[in-house]
């Protein structure tokens, strides 16, 4: 049984109950009318209780029948009008179920429960469409990023196989190693982002930011030396509650980005840790490099966005996956930290990550 029919029957039933109640009230009133042969002034006969019941009963039955018909017909029409917004929501839901996310209810009129339901449904669809669009863009970019290194490797191997005698084996191996490293970093970054997006975050433990950063700088200094960059580390005390592997990845990505996106020989990378006046452990990474346009600065934390023009042709650091700052932003969000990017007018990038105080 449809909701419209149930509503119509309920309206008709209400009218029938109201009619029966009226009849009962009338019968109660007639109970006070005397029974028998009644005479008025001058001996004129007066109708008694039986006469009134005989006269009213057929008419009451007819009235109840009319009320039942009116209740059904009127209830059917009224229920259809009341349920019309739900039909609109249902129609849009069917279109969405068929894969068309661009449809919206956009219900007009008085802001009642149906309007609130429709607006909530539209808001949900807006978020779903944004999520699906982001997922499609992310999948397309990921496919491109994963396909590119292997296409490059295939091209280098095809050239080498075409002329084995003229191949510089050492250079070929170095280029294959760089290309393979880029594909590996892309896969690892994608896995890390997927794990964070699914909420798989281990418990927080005390982390010494200075000690952790010192290890990362020591690991990446040879890469900076190879690129002709000067790394200056000022590591003051800074404690936080975090997931140590994720914090290490955050620091590593920032320092590695500072090395990759630099001016080449003669450039510099400055890494600083310390504790702010409000007890927050803060990481600061500054690198030299070309001027970063403001429009580009706002997009650097999006997946697969690279700072075009920031990678020095003279740098030997392999090109990144475009996921470094996206992963940094996600790790910072997991720890309740702020990722602050600024581009000095002289060029380069300044990155600050203040973490919440330990125990906060």
291 part of a folded domain: yes
**Residue of 305, 274, 308, 267 lying closest to 288 (CA atoms):** 267
pLDDT at 167: 80
Low-confidence residues of the chain: pLDDT under 70: 1, 4, 36-46, 48, 134, 137-149, 182, 185-186, 188-202, 299, 301-324, 360
pLDDT at 247: 86
CB-based burial of residue 153 (10 Å sphere; 0-12 exposed, 13-18 middle, 19+ buried)?
Answer: middle
pLDDT at 127: 85
Taking the C-alpha atoms of residue 4 and residue 350, their distance in angstroms, rounded to an integer, is 64
228 part of a folded domain: yes
Last residue of one domain, picked from the residues 83, 103, 123:
103
Range of the domain at 307: 205-354
pLDDT at 208: 93
pLDDT at 314: 40
13 part of a folded domain: yes
Last residue of one domain, picked from the residues 103, 128, 145:
103
pLDDT at 39: 63
pLDDT at 334: 82
pLDDT at 311: 39
12 part of a folded domain: yes
- CB contact at 8 A, 309 and 293: no
Q: pTM of the predicted model, to two decimals?
A: 0.54
User: Domains in the chain: how many in total?
Assistant: 2
pLDDT at 66: 83
pLDDT at 43: 62
- CB contact at 8 A, 285 and 359: no
**Residue of 187, 303, 214, 322 lying closest to 260 (CA atoms):** 322
Looking at residue 165, the DSSP 8-state letter turns out to be G
Last residue of one domain, picked from the residues 71, 103, 135:
103
162 part of a folded domain: no
């Amino acid at each position: 049984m449809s909701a419209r029919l149930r509503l119509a029957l309920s309206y008709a039933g209400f009218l029938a109950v109201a009619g029966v109640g009226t009849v009962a009230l009338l019968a109660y009133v007639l109970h006070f009318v005397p029974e028998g042969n009644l005479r008025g002034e001058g001996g004129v006969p007066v109708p008694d209780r039986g006469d009134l019941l005989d006269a009213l009963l057929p008419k009451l039955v007819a009235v109840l029948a009319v009320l039942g018909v009116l209740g059904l017909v009127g209830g059917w029409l009224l229920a259809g009008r009341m349920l019309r917004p739900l039909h609109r929501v249902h129609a849009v839901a069917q279109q969405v179920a068929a894969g068309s996310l661009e449809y919206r209810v956009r219900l007009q009129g008085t802001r009642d429960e149906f309007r609130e339901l429709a607006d909530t449904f539209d808001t949900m669809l807006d978020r779903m469409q944004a999520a699906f669009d982001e997922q499609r863009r992310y999948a397309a970019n990921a496919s491109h990023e994963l396909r590119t290194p292997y296409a490059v490797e295939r091209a280098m191997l095809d050239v080498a196989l075409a002329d084995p005698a003229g191949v510089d084996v050492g250079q070929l191996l170095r280029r294959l190693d760089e290309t393979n490293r880029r594909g590996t970093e892309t896969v690892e970054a994608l896995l890390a982002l997927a794990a964070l997006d699914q909420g798989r975050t281990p418990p927080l433990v005390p982390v010494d930011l200075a000690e952790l950063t010192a290890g990362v700088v020591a690991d990446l200094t040879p890469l900076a030396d190879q690129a002709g960059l000067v790394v200056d580390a000022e590591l003051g005390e800074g404690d936080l509650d975090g997931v140590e592997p994720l914090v290490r990845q955050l620091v590593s990505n920032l320092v590695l980005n500072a090395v990759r996106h630099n001016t080449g020989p003669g450039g510099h990378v400055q890494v600083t840790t310390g504790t702010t006046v409000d007890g927050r452990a803060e990481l600061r990474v500054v690198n030299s490099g070309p001027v970063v346009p403001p429009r580009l600065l706002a997009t650097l934390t999006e997946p697969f966005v690279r700072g075009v023009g920031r990678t020095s042709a003279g740098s030997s650091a392999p090109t990144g996956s475009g996921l470094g700052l996206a992963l940094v932003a996600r790790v910072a969000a997991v720890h309740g930290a702020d990722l602050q990017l600024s581009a000095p007018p002289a060029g380069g990038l300044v990155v600050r990550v203040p973490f919440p105080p330990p125990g906060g």
